[in-house]
């Protein structure tokens, strides 16, 4: 039987958001509007991604982002598009982005929400027609409405997210998000320009047989992580690694698997960013029955102190994460 709030597969994203909103008496509609703004920006990025090869939008711009990585042109475009959509919407007072060092003030000081985002993740895959994604995380601000937002609005901790999601530009484009209840996925239908509910109340399998990491870094991993990888191979698990976090996460969410980005010599804190990569995926993961850890603690429990802080990330089917933890912390 359908849950009373459940919507049938095929419902448009807009209708779904509206119906969810009316189901929760306290909802004022601002978060709904914000989610629609994100979805709209996703449509625009999707269009740019699809025609990137045609109009020569790809290729490095010669500039580097705040993490010192060379920036692809589409990253810049996605960043601009998202900022514009979130600013025009009016609900968001500030944004942080992987592409920018500082807080971005939208000027909407009446807005109740702040958004942390990676506008286009998987930058090494942009030029080569491989899946890439957008990740977003939404908080209700803690500074007074009407004042200028500050870094405190973003350093609330993973449990305080009010919504989180991603858009995967893959063989089809799909938006997956949660407002803290169920996780739902909406596949974009080009012919009508709408996202349609395709996966209602997503739950990950309890265990799986896929492991995903950059095995080129294997010798740099802690010996216990290496031992876990050996275990995966002894179990004849399948190795799958795209190098786009959103795509790797999405596949493992649906099929059952574990994604690992351990500390390396180059990135002793891990490579991935806490606020706009690890937190939002961990928030989704936990609502879909997965686990997410940095090897010591649950990702959502990590104390945030810096907008661009990095973290190791192990995320996936609960039994697989448990098995990894058994290797990392034997005897506990
Ligand atoms: P980016 O934010 O510069 O795109 O980097 C993040 C990406 C993730 O999507 C992916 O999981 C990881 O970096 C891949 O890193 P590596 O190439 O070291 O395996
Ligand atoms: Mg990224």
62 pLDDT more than 70: no
Q: In this structure, which ligand is nearest to the CA of 71?
A: 1
pLDDT, the chain, mean:
92
Q: Which atom of ligand 1 sits closest to the CA of residue 214? A: 19
How confident is the model over 67-104, as pLDDT tens digits? Answer: 665 555 888 999 999 999 999 999 999 999 999 999 99
Is 64 near ligand 1, meaning CB less than 6 Å away? no
How confident is the model over 238-294, as pLDDT tens digits? Answer: 999 999 999 999 999 999 999 999 999 999 999 999 999 999 999 999 999 999 999
Q: What average pLDDT does the segment 122-137 reach?
A: 93
7 pLDDT more than 60: yes
Q: Which tokens is 243 given?
A: 């190098």
pLDDT > 90: percent of the chain:
81
How is 75-91 classified by DSSP, letter by letter?
A: HHHHHHHHHHHHHHHSS
CA gap 126, 45 in Å, rounded: 12
How confident is the model over 46-61, as pLDDT tens digits? Answer: 999 988 776 555 555 5
CA of 158 to the centre of ligand 1 (A): 21
Q: How far is CA 290 from CA 44, 100, 299, in A?
A: 30, 30, 12
Whether the ipTM is more than 0.90: the answer is yes
The residue written with tokens 């994460």 in the block is 321
Is the full-model pTM beyond 0.80?
Answer: yes
Mutate to test the pocket of ligand 1, among 271, 310, 313 (most ligand atoms within 8 A of CB): 271
pLDDT of res. 6: 67
Nearest to 46 by CA among 128, 188, 195, 169: 169
Q: Which residues are annotated as a binding site for substrate?
A: 121-124, 214, 241, 259-261, 271
125 pLDDT more than 80: yes
Q: How far is CA 262 from CA 78, 208, 266, 298, in A?
A: 28, 20, 11, 14
């Amino acid at each position: 039987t359908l849950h009373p709030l459940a919507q049938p597969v095929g419902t448009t994203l807009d209708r779904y958001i509206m119906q969810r909103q009316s189901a929760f008496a306290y909802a004022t509609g601002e978060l709904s509007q914000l989610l629609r703004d994100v979805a709209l920006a996703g449509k625009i990025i999707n269009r740019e991604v699809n025609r990137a090869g045609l109009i020569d939008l790809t290729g490095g711009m010669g500039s580097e982002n705040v993490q010192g990585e060379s920036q692809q042109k589409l990253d810049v475009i996605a960043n601009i598009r998202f900022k514009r959509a979130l600013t025009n919407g009016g609900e968001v007072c500030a944004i942080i982005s992987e592409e920018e060092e500082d807080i971005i003030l939208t000027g909407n000081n009446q807005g109740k929400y702040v958004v942390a985002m990676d506008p286009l993740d998987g930058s090494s895959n942009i030029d080569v027609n491989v899946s890439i994604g957008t990740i977003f995380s939404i908080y209700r601000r803690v500074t007074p409405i009407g004042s200028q937002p500050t870094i405190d609005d973003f350093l609330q901790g993973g449990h305080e997210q009010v919504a989180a999601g991603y858009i995967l530009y893959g063989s089809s484009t799909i938006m997956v998000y949660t407002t803290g209840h169920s996780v739902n996925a909406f596949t974009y239908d080009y012919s009508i320009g709408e996202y349609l509910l395709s996966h209602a109340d997503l739950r990950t399998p309890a265990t799986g047989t896929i492991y995903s990491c950059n095995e080129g870094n294997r010798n740099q991993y802690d010996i216990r992580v290496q031992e876990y990888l050996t275990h995966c191979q002894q179990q004849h698990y399948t190795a799958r690694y795209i190098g786009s976090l959103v795509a790797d996460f999405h596949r493992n969410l649906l099929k059952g698997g574990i994604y690992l980005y351990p500390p390396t010599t180059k990135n002793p804190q891990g490579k991935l960013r806490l606020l706009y990569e690890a937190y939002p995926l961990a928030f989704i993961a936990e609502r879909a029955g997965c686990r997410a850890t940095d090897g010591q603690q649950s990702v959502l429990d990590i104390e945030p102190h810096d907008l661009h802080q990095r973290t190791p990330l192990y995320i996936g089917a609960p039994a697989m994460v448990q098995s990894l933890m058994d290797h990392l912390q034997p005897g506990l």
